[in-house]
Amino acid sequence: MSCRLLDDRGVASTELTLLFGLIILLTLFPIQVALLWHAQQNATLAAELALDVAQVETATADEAEEIGLGILASAGQVVNPRVVVVRDVGGTDLVTVTVSGDLRYQILPLGWSVSSVAEGRIEEFVGEDDR
Q: What domain range is 115 assigned to?
A: 9-126
The verdict on residue 2 lying in a domain is no
The verdict on residue 131 lying in a domain is no
pLDDT tens track for 12-49: 888 888 899 899 989 999 999 999 999 999 999 999 99
pLDDT at 91: 77
Q: Considering only residues 88 and 40, tell me which one the structure prediction assigns the higher pLDDT.
A: 40
Q: What is the pTM of this model?
A: 0.80
The verdict on residue 14 lying in a domain is yes
Provide the CATH number for the domain around residue 100. Answer: 3.30.1300
As to burial, measured by CB atoms within 10 angstroms (0-12 exposed, 13-18 middle, 19+ buried), residue 30 is exposed
Give the residue among 1, 6, 85 at the shortest CA–CA distance from 48. Answer: 85
The verdict on residue 68 lying in a domain is yes
